[in-house]
Structure 1
Amino acid sequence: MITKSVFGNADFSDKISEALGNVQFPDGPTNLYQPIKYILSLAGKRIRPQLVILGADLFGHSNIEEVVPASVAIEYFHNFTLIHDDIMDKAPLRRGQETVHQKWNDDVAILSGDALLIKAYEQLAKCPAVFVPSLLTTFNKVALEVCEGQQMDMDFETVESVSEEEYVNMIRLKTSVLLGGALEMGAIIAAATSEQRNKLYNFGENLGIAFQLQDDILDAFGDPATFGKQIGGDIIVNKKTILHILLKQELSATDSEIFASILKMTSSESSEKIAQMKELYEKYDVLSKANALKEYYTQCAYTSLGQIDVEDKRKEELFSLADHLMYRAR
């Protein structure tokens, strides 16, 4: 997915996988550490830890060993949030496999997630000492905002309507600040200026918004063979995704009644529920509208990256990554 760089022959993904594979967890308690090993073994796209390295690489930092601990910390934190989010969402699958709480139970998943967060801070302590205060400032800010975003997401479940602006702010906090923070942490280790770090963070933040909008789109319109999660899962649980929000604001009075009846359908009617909701999506051209919004934030990301004062050649990998994320099938 990501090409070679000044860091050497192995690509960034392989380097991070190697670092994760070399981490030693205690043998026991088994029910604390085995779930951690399990979630890390599911081998997601490793986007966030790669962004840490890309953030450093952009500014010419050539010592990958100084960057890897921060990359691992970001990966640990991300997987900690996945474990806990899956509990809250009652999700059965993660990356095509059983979620931790499904494979063990909620109590085990909560505690294993907590331990993984502590392990993230343990990794940050291994970074060059001169950068640790700035790294912690960025990491803690992002971590708290992710929690705020998750709470907003849960709050949305109990309100009748969510505006497009409210939704975008929620996914900015829940998803995109971590991408921006990962890039900024790499830039910190590369000793980039505050102005350059901010532009890189803005690139990551806007890319993250577009990334989540694409995830919403794939949930309804993705290929079940490649998506890794249940297609239509958001529809089944009446999740207020961008598709749901864009549809609701366009509905006629008659279709509003149909929409309301679809929301009331039970889990035993899930296939029919998905089909009927997608019919409304198609009737109101919701997919095109969601794609247009995704493209807007993608272009905002590209603009921020273009403004960073380094040679264009050094930006190629970030542009390529952005293109890959925005037009992915899973």
Structure 2
Amino acid sequence: MNPAIFFDALQHELQRIQYGQQPPELYNPIQYIMDIGGKRMRPLLTLMAAYLFTDNWQKAVRPALAIEVFHNFTLMHDDIMDKAPLRRGQPTVHEKWNENIAILSGDVMLVNAYQLLLHVEADKLRPALERFSRTAAEVCEGQQLDMNFESRWDVTETEYIDMIRLKTSVLLGYALELGGLIAGADDETTQHLYAGGMNIGVGFQLKDDLLDVYGDPAKFGKQVGGDIIANKKTFLLIEALQQAKGSLKDELIGWLNQKDFDKAEKVQAVTSIYDQLGIRQLTEARIGEYFARGFTNFEAVKADADRKKLLIQFAKQLVERES
């Protein structure tokens, strides 16, 4: 099976979905954000998980798109909170329209996600909805924790991992769990899929933190060092704050407290502090640990070896990404 078949099925179905028509100010922003791209990583995982156990993986397409619509809803609202001007190289919804429209359109997207989930077969619908509702709440919990961390300088590694688990990883876990559920996999199997998605998701976010500092600007797709410039609490900064001592700690705190600074100079100085503390190597080790756990979870899934290989190869492509 060529993974492109799954992607094409998702794209074809996305073109058929009607989010609503009147008033256009409510529905046009939804079509806009869904049309400006994205890797469709989460719904692809759902389809691949379903394919592990059934040839009729097409029945998972609309429920898989529920996850994609929900994901984009969270991005729309995150962009408002972050005052972000661009999303995937295009103006964000609140910039193109306004904040009130972005809030309301996002609300409707959440409703749309539930409507798409109703395409799950009746005998599996209740657990699918219950797990989705729990996941949706956890994503919001993670976002709130991330906002709480903005005013704290004592965030621990454990707290940070828990935050990214909620904000990012639970949706990846649910995407895989949903595919297995739709295809009739047993509870033990869906839990292996969920745990695999969770662990890959944590590693995925830690790698994003790492690439923001050490990535190739030509491949990363964003400004390298953006997190350093913004004093964003990332795994690297949290570890540096905990490990730095003496003059090195004073230097790091000094850069964090500066209001007026040359961006390139700050990125270079803080990166140098990370280098002296071995933060890159520590982060790479943590990434490796979580990815290894994820692949162990996937190996434990009882399914056709060739079909499982397809899922694992796709997950490895995500792991090895540089953008």
- Fold shared per TM-score above 0.5: yes
**Does residue 12 of structure 2 align to residue 14 of structure 1?**
no
Is the Cα contact below 8 Å between 1:94 and 1:228 reproduced in 2?
Answer: no
Q: Deviations over 1:56-106 (max 9, x none)?
A: 1112x1223311111110000000011111222222332233222233222
Aligned to 1:154: 147
Residue-by-residue CA offset, 1:301-330 (whole Å, 9 max, x unaligned): 011111112232221122112211111111
Alignment partner, residue 161 of structure 2: 168
Residue type of the partner of 1:325?
L
Q: What whole-Å deviation, never above 9, does each CA across 1:101-123 have from its counterpart, x for those lacking one?
A: 23322222111111111110111
Q: How far does residue 31 in structure 1 lie from its aligned partner after superposition?
A: 2.4
Q: Aligned AA for 2:2?
A: K
Aligned residue in 2 for 1:54: 48
Instruction: For 1:34 and 1:235, locate their aligned partners in 2 and report how far apart those are by CA, in whole Å.
Output: 35
SS for the counterpart of 1:76 is: helix
> Is 1:36 paired with 2:30?
yes
Provide closer, same or farther for how the CA distance between residues 42 and 268 of structure 1 changes in structure 2, counting only shifts above 3 A.
farther
CA distance in 2, matches of 1:100, 1:283: 41
* Range moving further from structure 2, 164-173 or 314-323: 314-323
Conserved? CA contact 2:52–2:304, under 8 Å: no
Cα distance between partner residues in 2 of 1:316 and 1:301: 14
In structure 1, the gaps of 5 or more residues are none
Return 5+ residue gaps in structure 2 as ranges.
none
**How do residues 1-330 of structure 1 correspond to structure 2 at under 5 angstroms?**
4=2, 11-59=5-53, 61-266=54-259, 269-330=262-323
Report the Cα distance in structure 1 between the residues aligned to 2:266 and 2:158, rounded to whole angstroms.
27
Taking a change above 3 Å as real, the CA distance of residues 324 and 116 of structure 1, as seen in their structure-2 partners, is same
Aligned-pair identity (%): 45
Q: Which runs of 4+ in 1 moved over 6 A?
A: none
Displacement of 1:30 in angstroms is 2.7
Cα distance between partner residues in 2 of 1:287 and 1:28: 51
RMSD: 1.7
Mapped contact 1:56–1:186 kept (Cα < 8 A): yes
Residue 249 of structure 1: SS of its match in structure 2?
helix
Distance (Å, rounded) in 2 between the aligned partners of 1:93 and 1:228: 12
TM-score, normalising length from structure 1?
0.93
- Partners in 1 of 2:260 and 2:305 — Cα distance? 51
Any conservation in 2 of the 1:4–1:11 contact (CA below 8 Å)? yes
Quickly say closer, same or farther: Cα 1:233–1:28, change in 2 above 3 A: farther
Q: What letter corresponds to residue 186 of structure 1 in structure 2?
A: G
**In 2, are the aligned partners of 1:35 and 1:112 still within 8 Å (CA)?**
yes
Q: How many residues align?
A: 323
1:266-290 Cα deviation digits (max 9, x unpaired): 3663332222211212222211211
AA partner of residue 114 (structure 1): D
Distance 1:15 1:267, change over 3 A: farther
Contact 1:67-1:186 within 8 A present in 2 as well: yes
Q: Is this contact kept in 2: 1:179–1:205, CA < 8 A?
A: yes
* TM-score (normalised: structure 2): 0.95
Cα drift, residue 171 of structure 1: 0.5
Secondary structure, aligned partner of 2:289: helix
Check whether the contact 1:236–1:267 (CA below 8 A) recurs between aligned residues: no
Shift of 1:40: 1.0
Letter in 2 for 1:292: A
User: Residue 217 of structure 1 contacts residue 243 of structure 1 at CA under 8 Å; is this kept in 2?
Assistant: yes
Distance, in Å, in 1 between the alignment partners of 2:310 and 2:85 is: 34
CA contact (8 A) 1:95 1:228 kept: no
Q: Deviations over 1:181-234 (max 9, x none)?
A: 011111111111111111111111101001111111122222333333333222
